[in-house]
A and B are shown apart, each in its own frame.
Chain A
């Protein structure tokens, strides 16, 4: 009776959902395709789809077409947990990719530990280093053999931004930051590093990002920053803050030498706005990078999706899937130990350049560190790379 019911239910579900029997290697992907972080999730998906097309055109994985199953986390921890468990128990995947949002990643820690698939993660950048009594992703699972973290940790992000700030010659910096888990610890770390580098932080002021319910009126915070007459305005927020914040800086006639923003992504159309002129920003990938991998990636991405890969998460997702394909092919099987050995030993392709896993402060397998980051500057409607110097396409100019 139970067997019959089970068979009929499975058949009905399979028919309803149009599920085909899985063949070849399947990789489960968790990404925020909807919700407040949908822009990042859609960029990730675009990068995964491009990599998948290329991998399968090149012969697939272990001689079979590679298959990806993307589950939406909505950047919601409880939804992300159910999505991961679906991948593990309904789709029977052995490999997990993707990832975004530290809250979702923290919710997955216990379940990751239970199933112990290979997890190669391009999100969850929160490390507890420097935060009393808090264990971030790096502390909780960074030392696990099966965990591979590609995205830099938050201290890498702050380190890169501070290194750029130091080389601008600025002596005083006003720090504005959004007030969530992204901007709060980031600004605390930034202040410490800026002061360590000999700069004076004249102000550290929080605002609520428009992404998280803020009104988009940043005038109070900007006015406070302007009153300090700092050489540099350094802000940490989200993509949706770029336009109102930049517009209000001009409106209030605040003219520091340098305006530097560190959101995860920048709106494409912002380049054409007059208030974009001289604004600098931290970014993980630029379509005008001149290395051959970046040129090929930008060309193929544009051909497949009809737009430029503006969000660096697309490049990271592309690197993520290719690393899996190369490691599994090199291992010759999906045996976990063999694939882990190949991931540990391998050097992988990416639009950012070749990369491999090295230890970070705590984590055993860290992909990118400060080296991922670039700083660009809007110059006459074009985003020029201005840092690091060896990748620069134009020199940095002052806003004054």
Chain B
């Protein structure tokens, strides 16, 4: 401990690029809606919707990556997402809880579920852990199905009120401006949630947790011998990973106006959470965000050109990226920059 303290004292202070990046991200999203409106007019409504979906994917991917840093291949993201969505919907329906309180409580419900799931599964390794976490969403879905319809809506699901309902004022605005105001508000909510997720990820990366997580990922037994407590830290990663995706589930339930078991506990949520950081670059804050923005752009661009055949192109991009960019986009770009730096230093 004293040695590490000495090391920290003698290490030259690094420029906080990550925090600067977070501030730049916050500034960029703050101006994005108005910029889109100025550039594209009514089409900004559509672009904001697409951007919001990309933000949603970023939150999903980054929160998954936080747990992946401990070496755990979690397939429980659909369960956390669904737990958040259903908690928010249930509170809105039965307890008349204000919508803005329901969303954090959705995150809290995901955390509680993550603690229970983590306590039961985190001593499992590899494929056994993955299978155990995959079943979590199915278990919650079955619970929702079997609860009385009057409680959770059963198979039919539940209506969830929208968070924003701007008024249309005839003669003073056009209809698309109402949609813009609604999308802008949702965009800011998603952006805030993303900034919170990024901040949590940065704090993990800047603390000793980063090294502890890496040690657990590299060799759990050795990490334990070195004084790291794998079970406790993996549980912490589980909690950090679940809280934001639980809140995301709550926000999304309001945005799409309903929760349905198949929609809220969909396995595709887990698949997206897993594929996106692999594409962007694992174990970093930037990688999952780059992955989400990159994959969203590729998918949207291909969709507009190739209609329904776009998924072939999307699949090819994913396969090629896994084959030729095993460390993701961020790893590839970082490697190229380092090589260039070395070349220039050698001249």
Contacts and interface: CB of A to CB of B under 8 A. Distances in A.
A163 interface: no
B263 A77 contact: yes
Contact of A88 (B176, B182, B267): B176
B56 A78 contact: yes
A341 interface: no
A107 B46 CA distance: 15
A106 B256 contact: yes
A114 B42 contact: no
B175 A70 contact: no
Q: How large is the interface on B (under 10, 10 to 19, 20 to 34, 35 or more residues)?
A: 35 or more
Contact of B257 (A18, A34, A107, A116): A107
12 contacts: A34-B308, A70-B307, A72-B307, A78-B56, A82-B53, A89-B176, A114-B179, A133-B158, A134-B157, A136-B156, A181-B155, A188-B149
Nearest to A75: B263
List of 5 A-B pairs having minimum Cβ-Cβ separation, nearest first: A184-B155, A33-B308, A107-B256, A82-B49, A77-B256
Interface stretch (A1-9, A250-258, A287-295, A320-328): A1-9
Interface in B284-316: 301, 303-305, 307-308, 310-311
Interface in B168-182: 168, 175-176, 178-179, 182
B240 to A, nearest CB: 24
A183 interface: yes
B347 to A, nearest CB: 38
B53 A79 contact: yes
A90 B157 contact: no
Nearest to A77: B256
A135 B155 contact: no
A85 interface: yes
Contacts of A185: 154-156
Interface string A197-223: 000000000100000110000000000
B256 A5 contact: no
A81 interface: yes
Contacts of B150: 132-133
B242 interface: no
A185 B43 CA distance: 38
Nearest to B150: A132
A90 B46 CA distance: 7
A89 B258 contact: no
A179 interface: yes
B305 A134 contact: no
Contact of A114 (B38, B158, B182): B182
Given A2-B38, A103-B260, 16 more contacts: A6-B39, A9-B39, A16-B305, A34-B311, A77-B257, A78-B252, A85-B46, A85-B49, A89-B43, A107-B257, A107-B258, A110-B162, A115-B175, A115-B176, A180-B262, A183-B155
Contact of A78 (B175, B256, B262): B256
Given A17-B305, A72-B303, A185-B156, A89 B42 contact: yes
A206 B145 contact: yes
B175 A184 contact: no
A103 B258 contact: yes
A82 B46 contact: yes
A42 to B, nearest CB: 8
